[in-house]
Amino acid sequence: MSDDRGRKLVARNRKARHEYDILETWEAGLVLRGPEVKSLREGRVSFQDAFARVEGGEVWLYSLHIAPYEPATYNNEDPLRPRKLLLHRHEIRKLIGRVEEKGLTLVPLEVYFRDGYAKVTLGLARGRKLHDKRETLKKRAQEREARRAVEARS
């Protein structure tokens, strides 16, 4: 799936927008090794429990599962290994200040290729309470029903 900005979307973390309120987003490069890139191009990635953390002036992505690439038997890495993210220094400084606020975390929203490079969109997120999630689901259902009613009239 490609879009007008030269991006080829690999995967989207649909659950993140349900579980969290996304306050701000950043695009970061993803440091990968050979077989991981091939597996990623096949779309074999899972966001379950994935998060990012700033450590020692660098940003690391944890628990992003990239499945082993079958033809590269002995060259495969640990599917859950921490992966370094590439951001500008000023972006990392800004992230450090924001992530230290209580209740905020960094979550990966989507993984894609742009101009042949693997990228990840990070979102600064605040967790939602259960009642907030229910309200969001009700609102979406009402909007969907309203759209159907308008379409039925025309």
The answer on pLDDT for 113 being more than 60 is yes
Contact 79, 69 (CB under 8 A): no
Residue 2's pLDDT band, with cuts at 50, 70 and 90, is low
Give the domains, in start order, of the chain with CATH numbers.
Answer: 8-129 (2.40.280.10)
pLDDT in tens, 67-105: 888 787 777 778 788 999 999 999 998 888 888 878 788
Contact 109, 13 (CB under 8 A): yes
The pTM for the full model equals 0.77
Contact 92, 58 (CB under 8 A): yes
CB count within 10 Å of CB 45 equals 20
Residue 38's pLDDT band, with cuts at 50, 70 and 90, is confident
What proportion of the chain, given as a percentage, has pLDDT over 70? 97
pLDDT value, residue 17: 83
Residue 33's pLDDT band, with cuts at 50, 70 and 90, is confident
